[in-house]
Homo-oligomer: A and B are copies of this chain.
Amino acid sequence: MEKNIPYKTYLDENEMPKAWYNVRADMKNKPAPLLDPQTHEPMTAEQLSAVFCRELVEQELNDTDPFIPIPQEIIEFYKMYRPSPLVRAYCLEKALDTPAKIYYKFEGNNTSGSHKLNSAIVQAYYAKKQGLNGVTTETGAGQWGTALSMACAYFGLDCKVFMVKVSYEQKPFRREVMRTYGASVTPSPSETTNVGRKILAEHPGTTGSLGCAISEAVEVAVGTEGYRYVLGSVLNQVLLHQSVIGLETKTAFEKIGEKPDIIIGCAGGGSNLGGLISPFMGEKLRGENDYRFIAVEPASCPSLTRGRYAYDFCDTGMVCPLAKMYTLGSGFIPSANHAGGLRYHGMSSTLSQLYDDKLMEAVSVEQTKVFEAAQQFARIEGILPAPESSHAIRVAIDEALKCKETGEEKTILFGLTGTGYFDMVAYQKFNDGEMTDYIPTDEDLAKGFAGLPKM
């Protein structure tokens, strides 16, 4: 008998997660530690506490406790915008005429427009708890900066955002959302920091990069009394906070009596993918269940599929700790025609280790194919997806079409991380037929690899 599965499954408040799941606890090969960029020794908690909030440092270094309780204040805040729905994409299935069942976990129904709020609110909470005055951060496309602005407004913290200059200019509305939440937004590189002035002197016409904005934000955090730096992806702590996505998803699947075979997510720094897959990955690591995990990245910024697994700088200014990760080199910047996010040169250490251990697959996709999927999805499922999220949509559709060929009734889950309301410049390019693809040559990549630190 066919089960009657609703389009959308929401958890009740009492079904919501009470603890985050720390996938590192179940990993046999732990992610490599952060290293001091001078001495190449593992960073101590004390060293990290100059940059990050104390309790976040503990979470960053904790690779043994599988569950970390979620503070009550965060559970309360979650109730304002969570749970996010697990959606059965009936209309997409029908349009594709596939025997596959397609589900997506939709994280876009909050003003930040993405899953980024899940970690922003936690980092702001610990900053407030520590008695800080404010935090600094960088933002590229602007989702993280928006999320952090919202979180800081909620806790009454000051929020200084360094926004990659090209985004600052092309996305004035993102900037205004952050200002509406009380944040100050500075285009990066700027004249307000040493590292910004240095980069501007060396590259006068630069439109900025995430790595450069990170350097500026860290400099201001370390040099200002009562401030710390917060980062929206890549770090272990961020994947921990994002595990709320996967935990909710897992409970929702249990509620409807289903189980995914394939789990797909887009991967920039890895926070959404890491959060979505972590409890499922835990089952795989413990031998309880098997799943296929697929990380999807842009062909123009292919850190997993074409990068090196090596220690690298997290930022352009080389002021941050070194992280072992799949990387294209901290000097790598995607070509100018790259429209969406997912432009970070490296990948979360946790995901890098899982990928290196062959517990997860990765594919890269070209952006015109991504926007084709985005448009198709928008028209069929009614949600205008973020370009980032559309990478996952592309591969979910491809997998569903494979099922159509083979007749397999697989259950496909993907993370729909956010909405594309602030990405209409990219959509306009696509609508006008002016979007192009670019795949870096081996020579392009070699330049990035040449900047890897000598270890």
Interface residues of A (CB under 8 A from B): 6-8, 10, 12-13, 79-81, 91, 109-111, 113, 150, 153-154, 172-173, 176-177, 179-182, 375, 378-384, 419, 421-422, 424-425, 427-428, 430-431
> Which among B110, B383, B422 is the interface contact of A111 at CB below 8 angstroms?
B383
How many copies of the chain does the oligomer comprise? 2
A-B interface, 8 closest residue pairs, ranked by CB to CB distance from nearest: A173-B424, A7-B79, A153-B379, A176-B424, A421-B421, A111-B384, A176-B428, A179-B431
Within the complex, what minimum Cβ distance (angstroms) separates A177 from chain B? 6
- Pick 27 A–B contacts, CB within 8 A, sort by A: A6-B12, A6-B13, A7-B13, A7-B79, A8-B79, A80-B381, A91-B154, A110-B382, A110-B383, A111-B378, A111-B382, A111-B383, A113-B421, A153-B379, A154-B380, A172-B424, A173-B173, A173-B425, A176-B424, A176-B427, A176-B431, A177-B427, A180-B378, A180-B384, A180-B427, A182-B379, A421-B421
Chain B residue nearest in CB terms to A156 = B379
Q: How far is the CB of A251 from chain B (nearest CB, A)?
A: 16
Q: A interface, by DSSP: helix, strand, loop or mixed?
A: helix
Check A421/B173 contact, CB under 8 A, given A182-B379, A378-B111, A427-B180: yes
Given A176-B431, A179-B428, A180-B430, 7 more A-B residue pairs with CB atoms under 8 Å apart are A6-B79, A150-B379, A176-B428, A177-B424, A181-B379, A182-B379, A421-B422
**A425 / chain B contacts, CB cutoff of 8 Å:** 173
A80 contacts across to B, CB distance below 8 A:
7, 91, 381-382
State A145–B441 Cα separation when bound (angstroms): 43
